Amino acid sequence: MAIRNRVWEIANSFGLENLRIKDRVVPENIGPNEVLVRLTATSLNYRDYLMAIGQYNPRQKLPLVPCSDGAGVVESVGSNVKKWKTGDRVIPIFAQSWQDGTPNVDSLRSTLGGPNDGCLMEYGVFDAQGLVRTPDHLTDAEAATLGCAGLTAYNAVVTFGGIEPGSTVLTLGTGGVSLFALQFAKMLGAKVIVTSSSDEKLARAKKLGADEGINYSTRSNWERDVRKYTDMKGADLIIEVGGAGTLPKSMMAVRPYGTIALIGVLAGGESNLSLYPILMQGVKVQGVIVGSKADFERMNSAISQNKMKPVVDRSFGWDEVPDAFAYLRSGQHFGKVVIEWQG
Ligand SMILES: NC(=O)c1ccc[n+]([C@@H]2O[C@H](COP(=O)([O-])OP(=O)(O)OC[C@H]3O[C@@H](n4cnc5c(N)ncnc54)[C@H](OP(=O)(O)O)[C@@H]3O)[C@@H](O)[C@H]2O)c1
Q: What is the CA radius of gyration of the chain?
A: 20
pLDDT at 305: 98
Is 3.90.180.10 the CATH classification of the domain at 4-145+310-340? Answer: yes
- Ligand 1 centroid from CA 175, angstroms: 5
Whether the pLDDT of residue 3 is over 90: the answer is no
Chain segment 247-295, per-residue pLDDT in tens? 999 999 999 999 999 999 999 999 888 999 899 999 999 999 999 999 9
Cβ of 198 less than 6 Å from ligand 1: yes
Residue 214: CA atoms inside 13 Å, Cβ hemisphere, count? 20
Q: Which residue has the CA at smallest separation from atom 10 of ligand 1? A: 264
| Distance in Å, CA 333 to ligand 1 centroid | 11
- Return the pLDDT at 28: 86
pLDDT score recorded for residue 117: 98
DSSP 8-state code for residue 95: B
CATH topology classification for 150-287: Rossmann fold (3.40.50)
As a whole number of angstroms, the distance between CA 132 and CA 218 comes to 42
What is the spatial distance between Cα 213 and Cα 96, in angstroms, rounded to a whole number?
37
Which of 38, 131, 40, 143 lies closest to 81 in space, CA to CA?
A: 131
C-beta of 204 in contact with ligand 1 (< 6 A): no
Backbone angles phi, psi at 222, to 5 degrees: -65, -20
pLDDT tens by residue, 81-116: 999 999 999 999 999 999 999 999 999 999 999 999
Ligand 1 mean position, distance from CA 247 (Å):
13
pLDDT of residue 42: 98
With 0-12 CB in 10 A as exposed, 13-18 as middle and 19+ as buried, what is 133?
Answer: middle
pLDDT per position as a tens digit, 50-80: 999 999 999 999 999 999 999 999 999 999 9
SS3 state at 288: coil
Q: Which helix (H) or strand (E) holds 301?
A: helix 293-305
pLDDT over 90 at 343, yes or no = no
Contact between residue 73 and residue 59 where contact means Cβ atoms under 8 Å apart: no
Using CB atoms within 10 A of its CB, is residue 52 exposed (0-12), middle (13-18) or buried (19+)? buried
Smallest CA separation from ligand 1 atom 35, residue:
173
Q: Work out whether strand 123-127 and strand 212-215 pair parallel, antiparallel, or are unpaired.
A: unpaired
With the most atoms of ligand 1 within 8 angstroms of its CB, the residue from 151, 266, 312 to mutate is 266
Mean pLDDT of 208-214: 98
* Cα–Cα dist 128/92, whole Å: 9
| Average pLDDT of the chain to the nearest whole number | 97
> Is 244 close to ligand 1, i.e. is its CB under 6 Å away?
no
CB of 289 closer than 6 A to ligand 1?
yes
pLDDT of residue 67: 98
- Give the CA distances from residue 275 to residues 153, 248, 272, in Å, rounded to whole numbers and listed in that order: 25, 10, 9
Reference 313, options 332, 286, 296, 294; nearest CA is 332
Per-residue model confidence as pLDDT tens digits over 129-155 = 999 999 999 999 999 999 999 999 999
* C-alpha 148 to ligand 1 mean position (Å): 12
pLDDT in tens, 192-208: 999 999 999 999 999 99
| 121: three-class secondary structure by DSSP | strand
CA of 287 to the centre of ligand 1 (A): 15
Q: With a 6 A CB cut-off, is 264 part of the ligand 1 pocket?
A: yes
In one-letter notation, the amino acid at residue 76 is S
CB of 172 shorter than 6 A to ligand 1:
yes
Is the distance from the beta carbon of residue 302 to the nearest atom of ligand 1 less than 6 Å? Answer: no
CA distance 174 to 195: 7
* Cα–Cα distance, 74 to 219 (Å, whole number): 49
pLDDT at 158 > cutoff 80: yes
Residue nearest (by alpha carbon) to ligand 1 atom 44: 264
173 lines ligand 1 (CB under 6 A): yes
Q: 283 CA distance to ligand 1 centroid (A)?
A: 22
Cα angle value 107/85/34 (rounded, 5°): 35
Kindly indicate the confidence band of residue 2, based on its pLDDT and cuts at 50, 70 and 90: confident
Give the burial class of 169: count Cβ atoms within 10 A of its Cβ; 0-12 exposed, 13-18 middle, 19 or more buried: buried
For ligand 1, the distance from its centroid to the CA atom of residue 23, given in whole angstroms, is 33
C-beta of 197 in contact with ligand 1 (< 6 A): yes
Q: What residues does each domain of the chain span?
A: 4-145+310-340, 150-287
> pLDDT tens, 9-54?
999 999 999 999 999 999 889 999 999 999 999 999 999 999 999 9
Two domains, one topology: 4-145+310-340 and 150-287: no
